[in-house]
Structure 1
Amino acid sequence: MNNGNTFSSAAYSFKHIVLARALHNLRTAVLLACCTLSPAAIPAQPVVIKGFAPEYRGSVIAAYTYKDFITKAPLRLATEKVNDSGKFVITLTGIKETQYLYLNIDNLNGSIYVTPGNTYHIVFPTPDSTRYQNPYISHSIDLIFIIRDTDNVNNLIMDFNEEFYNFWKKNYAYFLRKQGEPRLDSFDLQMQKRYSQISNPYFKTYIKYTFAQYRLSILMGMKTLGNKYLKDQPILYHNNEYMDFFNDYFKGYLEQISAGREGDDLKNYINNNNYQGIVSILKINPLLLDNDSLCELVLLKGLYELYYSGDYKKDNIVTMLHHFAGQTKIDEDRKIATDMLHSFTGITDGDAAPGFSLRDANGNLTALSDFRGKYLYLGFIKSSSEQCLGELNVMAALNKTYGKKMYFVCIAEDQNMEEMKAYLKQNKSFTWKFLFDDSAVVRLKYDVDVIPEFFLIDPAGRFKLAPANEPGHGIELELELLMETKKK
């Protein structure tokens, strides 16, 4: 699995994990202020997140978790707007246990762990331009928690991450010399003693599997780690740290088998939808021999990786997952298999484009169906983006050339309609239709992660290209070919 790495690369990976967790995940500032955190006596009690985001007035803030921790497909739980005072309140229902979430504004994500029945007071900080220079990719930011309860899991995790960061700075050289393992064991014992009076079960698990992850990074024996952290242990499907360790421990596991002496058998079993045959190969591993639940989860993860490996026919993987979802007796595994199948069938060429009905700069409603009968070149843009401006200047030229033969439309992901109107007033050459996407509803439907993003939709309302090339990066050739084909 990871045994082929050199120690230096593992040490670098270890340092990267520590820095990422200690500085970028939940290394937050704590302000001692009045805040009431009620105990989660009843799992069905709502979670309330009250926040202050003064730099994001009018912006959409959303709370996300993952559908599962193998595909890590985002699942939006709630969406609110930051009001004119910079405040917001998010209420989450259906949270049954402590779990990991992240809050999102634009391309910034901040991590938080929530427990049923608790109220959290946070500050979504001003973005640091020295750290978040690229506005077109996602960045992790450090939420500020206004808390006083020292048993709150976010405060505990923050404290532990600080302790581990300091340990790593002091002992990094020992790990480079392959002398760090005893020091890590000693530090583990220190942390157990430090938090011996803490009863929070999620935090206990967080520490346990964070140490497991670090030990995996410095290439401790795989058998030892498996026996310590996976054998005879419950599968924590919804625990971020457990699943991070599981995913790294079994990373590329079926791919390794495929390259080994059982590779021909594995390929034959997958091609013939032989579920039991694959299980028999997996159970050669003593860790999986007597653990059917863990074996199933390893099989799921392996099939997901093989789907993207290019070494197997995707249709065979899909057939196997459909068979798995219909046969498994474990509800969580069935859900993960279903999530995987859904992830394989996201927005692709030939799919029906999601419908929408949005207002233009004049306040008129415009629907996707209004553009039936011609090709539609649809772009998601933002008026504050210099990259978008450059692409739209090229799009203006395309509109002059092809505007009578097809439609050009932009969906603006601005904070409000007035921003879009001002943008159009400043750019007189943008004469095609612009629509305002209030609360980013259509952006989510089209699974747009970066802006600008463009799609080419055919006259019947199906994706011709999803996504399509940008105006300045080759779409004109596609349009020329389409127009020539239409003439014939």
Structure 2
Amino acid sequence: MISLQCRVIGCIAGIFFLSVMWSSALAQSTLTAVYGRAPDYANQTIVFRQQVGFVTDAQLEIGRVTLGRDGDFYCPLKVQGTQKVTCEVGAYLLYFYITQGQRYELGFPPYRPMQDQDRLNPYQPRMEVQLRPRGVDSLLVNDMIARYDYALAAALDSVMMGVTVQRQRVNADSLVTAVRKRFAGAKYEDPFFREYIRYQEGNLFYVTQTKYVQQLSDEYFKNRPILYDNPAYRDLFNAVYMKYFQFHGRTREGRQIYKAITQDRSLSGLARVLRQNDNLQPDALMELVMLKGIHDEFFDVNFSRESLSVVLDSLSSHTDVAEHAYIASYIREKVTRLLPGFAPYPVRITDVRGQLLDIKQLRGKLTLLMFAITTSYTCIEDFTLLRKLLLSYGEHLEVVTLCADENTESAVKFIESQGYDWHFAMLEEQKELLEHYDVRAFPTYYLLDERGLLLYSPVRSPREGLESLLFQLFRQRGWRPKELQNQNRRIK
């Protein structure tokens, strides 16, 4: 949707800069890279990502760099066309737009760590800020998008008080006209930016309820090119076609959706139902709406997941659009990655002893995967309980604790001082594991079976009856905790 973070951008535009460096050699090169100097971030690793999957929130790593001791860095990026790139650094979520074949100098703000109270709060987002050009060319895509978003948000804010207090209706057309006047005379030569403006205006009509979704579908998507990489297009598409199966299924012609998916598990049957709505043209748009609908229903209760999976696999194997096959794979990865019976996201990391830790190598035992921070009182309590559990269950149980502490050195000293006798590793260079395992609070636990597949996702903590669960699992497998083994020896 329309970003209202623009005030932050304006306040610190002087701190952030993003300048494109051109030369005759670079003009003919397809190399895309970022570089700069950020002393506050010396020795840290920064990961650059772009959103993929279109209807999912999946992020693809396109570059990674570890800054030098003085903060210098240079990082090639794998991009095509124009893309929105993000990176999480401390308390910030920074983003900018880049175009293939250009080099960008990045400047970061003074380092601001994520506070523990914020890290423990799953609903506390990072501060979202767009990096800005240094003024070498005011018509660069990145700068034009920043200026446009700021103007659009300011115009919307100017009328929201009246809407909230006096319940007035927003005149979105007048807002669009006012913003366009501010950009009168600007040359919108870049097609990415032209389409960005068009679909941001569509987003404005949507959030102000000036136009209904059917009208937006007609005006912005029917028989129009699909802009997979344009975030404004993606936002409007995901809003207009949200829960499409449910809403269309309420209509007379759409009621057969439930039969096509749940009973027949038929891709062709679903296509026949959707073709009754002539808004979904061409077929590529209809396929994309199918993918969106399947994704949304995986997280609801109206259709069986098994039936949705069959239709998704059928679409993936029959589509002629390569991008749709990729989107289908991202949906499948998202909905199965934390389901019991499926393999978890790989964990291959260096532990605090400097040894390589790969959870695949722990097969043969149950594995308790714990996400924690050492400054959390609850986590420290659980460390004590886990130490006791391992005395009884350690013969057939491995524990892996992945720590997300901001201060790695302090965390390692604490771990070493306590003498914990199980696997510990720091997530300093693999913080993306928190996203892959949907970690929203510390501690969070997952239990893997002997084959390395998810058994409980998530699983209860040591304070919430983990031991009784382990006792049942051991008994099912014919294993005995050490306490019972010792008791039997004494009886004999």
2:97 aligned with 1:119: no
Say whether 1:199 aligns with 2:189. yes
Amino acid at match of 1:309: D
Structure-2 separation of matches of 1:214 and 1:440:
37
1:68 is displaced (CA, Å) by: 1.9
Distance 1:191 1:279, change over 3 A: farther
Match for residue 282 of structure 1?
A: 274
Identity %: 21
Given the alignment, which residue of 340, 345, 362 partners 2:336? 345
Contact 1:59 1:105 in 2 (8 A): no
Match of 2:140 in 1: 152
Cα distance change on mapping 1:337 and 1:361 into 2, 3 Å: closer
Bigger shift: residues 268-277 or 359-368? 359-368
Moved more, 464-473 or 18-27: 18-27
Q: Deviations over 1:107-130 (max 9, x none)?
A: 742111111122222233346689
What is the SS of the residue equivalent to 1:142?
A: strand
> 1:230, CA displacement in angstroms?
1.9
Query: Please, which of 210, 214, 224 is the counterpart of residue 215 of structure 2?
Result: 224
The range that moved more, 293-302 or 435-444, is 435-444
Give the SS at the match of 2:258: helix
Question: Are residues 375 and 356 of structure 1, via their aligned partners in 2, closer, same or farther at CA, if it must alter by over 3 Å?
Answer: same
Q: Give the Å deviation of 1:240.
A: 1.0
Q: Who is 2:487 aligned against? A: none
Secondary structure (helix, strand or coil) at the match of 1:187 reads helix
Asked whether 1:167 is paired with 2:169, we answer no
CA distance in 2, matches of 1:130, 1:433: 25
Spell out the pairing of 1:7-26 with structure 2 (5 A cutoff). 18=2, 20-23=4-7
Match of 2:265 among 270, 273, 278: 273
Cα separation, 2, equivalents of 1:33 and 1:347:
39
What's the CA shift for 1:141?
Answer: 3.0
**Which residue identity lines up with residue 47 of structure 1 in the other structure?**
T
Among 82, 85, 88, the residue aligned to 1:104: 88
Comparing 396-405 with 100-109, which one deviates more in the overlay?
Answer: 396-405
Hey, what does 2:60 align to over in structure 1?
Answer: 75
Q: CA deviation at 1:156?
A: 1.4
Asked if the contact 2:17/2:131 (under 8 Å) is kept, the reply is no
Match of residue 335, structure 1, among 323, 326, 341:
326
Structure 1 pair 460/319, CA: closer, same or farther in 2 (3 Å)?
A: closer
Number of matched pairs:
467
Runs of 5+ consecutive residues of structure 1 not aligned to the other structure: 1-16
CA contact (8 A) 2:371 2:445 kept: yes
Query: Structure 2: which amino acid aligns with 1:345?
Result: T
Query: What is the deviation of 1:174?
Result: 5.0
SS in 2 for 1:329: coil
Query: SS at 1:122's partner residue?
Result: strand
RMSD over aligned CA atoms reads 3.5
More off after superposition, 115-124 vs 459-468? 459-468
**Is 367-376 or 146-155 further displaced after alignment?**
367-376
Tell me the SS of whatever aligns to 2:30.
coil
Larger deviation, residues 67-76 vs 221-230 = 221-230
In the other structure, the counterpart of 2:489 is none
Distance in 2 of aligned mates of 1:409 and 1:33: 41
Contact 2:5/2:128 (8 A) holds in 1: no
Q: 2:30 aligns with which of 9, 25, 45?
A: 45
Cα separation, 1, equivalents of 2:456 and 2:7: 40
Q: 2:390 aligns to what? A: 399
In structure 2, the partner of 1:142 is: 129
Alpha-carbon distance in structure 1 between the residues aligned to 2:357 and 2:267: 49
Distance 2:117 2:405 in 1: 19
Contact 2:87 2:95 in 1 (8 A): yes
Q: Which residue in 2 is equivalent to 1:5? A: none
Identify which range, 251-260 or 262-271, moves more after superposition: 262-271
Cα drift, residue 332 of structure 1: 1.9
Instruction: Give the one of 234, 252, 274 matched to 1:243.
Output: 234
Q: TM-score, normalised by structure 2?
A: 0.82
Q: What SS class does the counterpart of residue 279 from structure 2 fall into?
A: helix
CA distance in 1, matches of 2:333, 2:211: 36
SS at match of 1:237: coil
1:66 maps to which residue? Answer: 51
Give the 3 Å change call, closer, same or farther, for CA 141–52 of structure 1 in structure 2: farther
CA contact (8 A) 1:361 1:435 kept: yes
Shift of 1:386: 5.2
Shift of 1:483: 3.4
8 A contact 2:133–2:143 mirrored in 1? no
- Which moved further from structure 2: 318-327 or 18-27? 18-27
Deviations 1:39-95 (A, max 9, x none): 9856x71221224444443332111112221122121122222333234332113x2
- Report the residue type matching 1:336 in the other structure: I
Gaps spanning 5+ residues in structure 2: where? 481-492
Residues 319-364 of structure 1: CA distance to partner in whole angstroms, max 9, x if unpaired?
1122212222222222222322233332432334566665544444
Matched, 1:291 2:282: yes
| C-alpha distance in structure 1 between counterparts of 2:6 and 2:155, whole Å | 11
Q: 1:86 to 1:133 in 2, by over 3 A?
A: farther
Question: CA separation in 2, counterparts of 1:226 and 1:125?
Answer: 41
Letter in 2 for 1:323: S
Distance (whole Å) between structure 2 residues aligned to residue 418 and residue 300 of structure 1: 45
- Write the distance in 2 (CA, Å) between the matches of 1:355 and 1:179: 49
Structure 2 CA distance for partners of 1:452 and 1:84, relative to 1, 3 Å:
farther
**1: CA distance between counterparts of 2:207 and 2:344?**
43
